[in-house]
Structure 1
Amino acid sequence: MPLKQLAPGEMTDDDLRDWCSVLNDMTAADMPAEPRWRTDSLREYLTATLPEDRRHLFLDRDADGDLVGHAALILFGGEQAGTGVVEMSTRPSARGKGVGTRLLRAVAECAKAGGCRTLSVEVIATTPAVGFYDRHGFARSTVEQRHLLRWAEIDWEKIEHAAGRLAAGYRLEYHAGGVPDRLMDSYADVKANLRSAPGNVAFVPEWRGSAYAPGLRDSFQTLASRGMRSHIAVAVSEPYGNVVGLTELVVSAQRPTRADQYDTVVAPAHRSYGLAMTMKARLLTELRRAEPQLVDVQTWTLDTADDVRWINGELGFVHDVDWYDYEADVDKLLARLTRPA
């Protein structure tokens, strides 16, 4: 059967089950300790995007109709227009048969048609995907270290102590699903610090998916629409009631035993008070009550972020694997993919 491009809303129930099956076969082969994907809210996960973004899906089935690989392409709009992110998965039994290359060519052609100039992809350093993207000319742009906090190994007495060590003049608030309107403007102001180059613990580049302040309401709504539960702790400065620090975690319906650490940011004028540590510890105590099914929390840090690793280490996070960020120029990628063998 030919490779098929479709809109997320066109996915059938069989497509969704097959999509999940490929992901889990790949996970079992490459990183067997990782949690498996579920079809819970998978349609919503693949469908919902920010208003200015577009997602395209690609399915590659063999002659018997079995799904052997799939890809998702997100084309960003707004300030990130011209860039896109691709996620590709190939069933291990189908590797070496050109599935990945067919999918990548379809993705590149769609990206070109959509005005995308640069494609990026995240690759786990210990998996065969590294060689695949190297061969296709992707350039490694960033190395990130993933750290895991295993729930069964948490020193809760230490976490509770850290959560209570709050400097005078501040209070902490916890919010599930987003932040209230009274905090939204100052929350957005703090998030805007992510536009600056990270140089210390005030900027914790743990995940870049919500690194832009505009459209925060859309971001929270999109996460909820995708079946992803947001958990947020903020540091509020007294007596004005403004957010001066924040940390975010998300738990998805598709992998509910794992929480993903998103951004942790402290406003420049409020650094050196230990707010990042206190907020992250407080959020863990809230997760203990709100998400009792959790097995672990994952976070990513740049390999140069020594202060961030120190905070995570104090909380119990342990480095387990590196992730590579790869980038490719769309025109050059297409030229390679269409070059005669």
Structure 2
Amino acid sequence: MADMTDTTAPVTITAIPEVTPAHADAWRQVVTASLAEDLPGVPPPTPSQAYARLSRPGLGSRLLTWLAYATDGDGRTRPVGAATLRLFDRQGQEHLAETDLHVHPDARRRGIGTALLSAVVAEVRSEGRRSLIAETPASGTADLFCVRHGFRRALTLHHLLLSLTEAHHDRLVELTGTDRPGYRTVAWHGTVPDALADTFAAAKNAMNDMPTGDLDYGTLSWDAERVRAMAAVVAGRGDTLLTVAAVHGAESDDGTAEIAGFTEIVIPDGTATRARQYDTAVVPAHRGHGLGVWLKAHMLRQLHAKYPQVTEVETDNAADNAHMLAVNEQLGFRHQRTTHEYRLALAEGEGSA
């Protein structure tokens, strides 16, 4: 194979209509090298995670993929760049698209990123979307790349990491042992129980007031069908979804109760050592009772007891979400890195690529 520093090797950008394991492996090679350069310490995707990510898009969206290949002198090709475009189709977000773009460190400054972005933006325009979102490390060339191509910074995210081996078990016991009068916890694995599906969906809608800066993120309307579909997508990737919820008041005659708040954790592949925090929300009418930290402490105790292979939990919070940052710091999360969310406005009068 030719040296990756060979700047004379021709490069082709290929749209991938149907992702195969070979395509996913090429994408993974580029992303792994890119993360090692730009975000050291972030676990690279496994082969199964790479294929699941590219072949099973998130709920209410489609995913398009492009790969950049360099051809050496004897005709052999190697992946040097990769881009995905997530097109949101769910009601309230039909205007939105999100891209994830990587170039192998040894193939940068050759116009590969620009060529990939051009393909992405052309597709976004053809789909009639007005906003394209991209996330970058807080320092480095990616920030400059976004600005040079017309993106504007819309949100800053702090990524936090909790080492469960250092979590003070007595502190978790203290946090969960303090009663919240009128509330009790209920936990489930995977899909929400039928009796709680409607009230869980209503609680999910509390996420719509979380800080999103200038992302033009839109709003989501959750119902029982959507929360079940979301759980099915996670399960389809081979991941484990765990939920702990706070139920308010006694059950009604039909066995239902009101969910006042919840927190979710996903364990990639069901066996990964680093779990990922998903949504945490408290319904506005139930805020001010410390439910957020209480629920998350219950979840951490569950990880300790039932999933001993999990040694770390990663989460992210908007920089201006002071309340949730304080909750996570109280539980032992520590700052790991900072990223920026950039937005490219494509609608008339809002800017252009």
Tell me which residue corresponds to 1:249: 265
What is the CA deviation profile of residues 40-89 of structure 1, one whole-angstrom value per residue up to 9, with x for unaligned ones? Answer: 24322212235642110001100131000101101111220021000111
1:26 positional shift: 1.1
**Match of residue 75 from structure 1:** 87
TM-score, length-scaled by structure 1? 0.88
Aligned alpha-carbon RMSD (Å): 2.4
Gap change, CA 1:74 and 1:178, over 3 Å in 2: same
Q: Does 1:115 align with 2:124?
A: no
Which letter does structure 1 place at the counterpart of 2:199? S
User: 1:118-267 counterparts in 2 under 5 A?
Assistant: 118-196=131-209, 212-214=221-223, 215-240=226-251, 241-253=257-269, 256-267=272-283
Structure 2 counterpart of 1:94, from 81, 88, 107? 107
Residue 48 of structure 2 aligns to a residue whose secondary structure is coil
**Matched position secondary structure for 2:33:** helix
Give the superposition deviation at 1:260: 1.6
- Contact kept in structure 2, 1:35 and 1:255, CA below 8 Å: no
Deviation at 1:299, TM superposition (A): 1.4
Kindly state the Cα deviation for residue 305 of structure 1 after the two structures are TM-superposed.
Answer: 2.2
Separation of aligned partners in 2, 1:34 and 1:90: 17
CA contact (8 A) 1:147 1:299 kept: yes
Looking at both structures, which has the greater relative contact order when contacts are Cα pairs under 8 Å and sequence separation is at least 6? 1
Q: Distance in 1 between matches of 2:113 and 2:331?
A: 39
Separation of aligned partners in 2, 1:300 and 1:44: 22
In the TM superposition, what is the alpha-carbon distance from 1:136 to its structure 2 partner? Answer: 1.0
Q: Deviation of residue 189 (structure 1)?
A: 1.1
Pair 1:97–1:331, CA change in 2 (3 A) = farther
Amino acid at match of 1:232: T
Report the Cα distance in structure 1 between the residues aligned to 2:112 and 2:318, rounded to whole angstroms: 32
Residue ranges of structure 1 left out of the alignment (5+ in a row): none
2:345·2:352 contact (CA, 8 Å) conserved in 1? no
Q: CA deviation at 1:116?
A: 1.6
Establish whether residue 3 from structure 1 lines up as the match of residue 19 from structure 2.
Answer: no
Partners of 2:65 and 2:270 lie apart in 1 by: 18
Identity, % of aligned pairs? 30
Report the alpha carbon displacement of residue 306 of structure 1 after superposing the two structures with TM. Answer: 2.2
Code of the residue aligned with 1:76 in structure 2: it is F
Q: 1:84 to 1:127 in 2, by over 3 A?
A: same
Q: In the alignment, which residue of structure 1 is the partner of 2:254? A: none
2:38 pairs with 23, 30, 44, which one? 30
**Worse overlay, 247-256 or 169-178:** 247-256
Question: Where in structure 2 are there 5+ consecutive unaligned residues?
Answer: 1-10, 252-256
After superposition, the Cα gap between the structure-2 partners of 1:336 and 1:307, relative to the gap in structure 1 and judged at 3 Å, is: closer
